[in-house]
Amino acid sequence: MIWAIVSDIFDGIIARELNVSTQRLRRLDSSVDQIFWILSLVGAFILCRDFFKIHLIKIAIILILEGLAYLISFIKFKKEVATHAILSKFWTLTIVGTLIQVILTCDSAVIFNTCFYLGVISRIEIISILLILKVWTNDVPSFYHAILLRKGIEIKRNKLFNG
């Protein structure tokens, strides 16, 4: 998982540096990330079913919010989510920490709760971004940037995060 997250971080940076990052590639990156995290979650579930039973409601809330974001994106834009918001990147780091701790110990308290609340906030932000945007746009760093884009104001892009 650590190698996966490192490669996920650097594949986007490298693609932007080589000027090969396209909208299609960013959409594909999001889809591959989604599959990876679903499979990681399934693997952790197989190893530690009791953890998932104890935290079923919180996990269900996150999965429902994630599904809702994809549903809104497909209904509104006929495309999957690819906002790559900065808050989501931080959430991803807590997912890695949580899954590693769960896989190693079948338990997690502080990291899981941090992951849950950050996940809820970041999913609500993604849903808000999707509802605010007039046209589908990839690499929208935050809710604030979505408002700027809706007003027709060009946003500053960072080559490391959303170039």
* Residue 157, domain member (yes or no): no
Token code pair at residue 144: 């604030």
* Residue 156, domain member (yes or no): no
Residue type, 129: I
Residue among 90, 111, 89 at smallest CA distance from 44? 111
Residue 39 has pLDDT above 70, yes or no: yes
The structure's pTM equals 0.86
Q: What does the pLDDT read at residue 99?
A: 95
Question: Considering just the CA atoms, what is the radius of gyration of the chain in Å?
Answer: 16
Q: What does the pLDDT read at residue 31?
A: 82
Residue 16 has pLDDT above 70, yes or no: yes
Percent of the chain with pLDDT over 70: 96
Q: What does the pLDDT read at residue 18?
A: 83
Contact 142, 86 (CB under 8 A): yes
* Residue 129, domain member (yes or no): yes
Q: Which of 56-65, 80-89, 139-148 has the lowest mean pLDDT?
A: 80-89
Structural domain count, the chain: 1
Q: What does the pLDDT read at residue 27?
A: 76
* Residue 158, domain member (yes or no): no
Contact 63, 73 (CB under 8 A): no
Residue among 129, 116, 131 at smallest CA distance from 86? 129
Taking CA atoms, 119 is separated from 85, 107, 124, in Å, by 12, 18, 8
Dihedral, CA of residue 17, residue 15, residue 6 and residue 1, to nearest 10: 180
Residue 162 has pLDDT above 70, yes or no: no
Range of the domain at 84: 2-150
* Residue 155, domain member (yes or no): no
Span 70-115, pLDDT tens digits: 999 999 999 988 888 999 989 999 999 999 999 999 999 899 999 9
Residue 163 has pLDDT above 80, yes or no: no
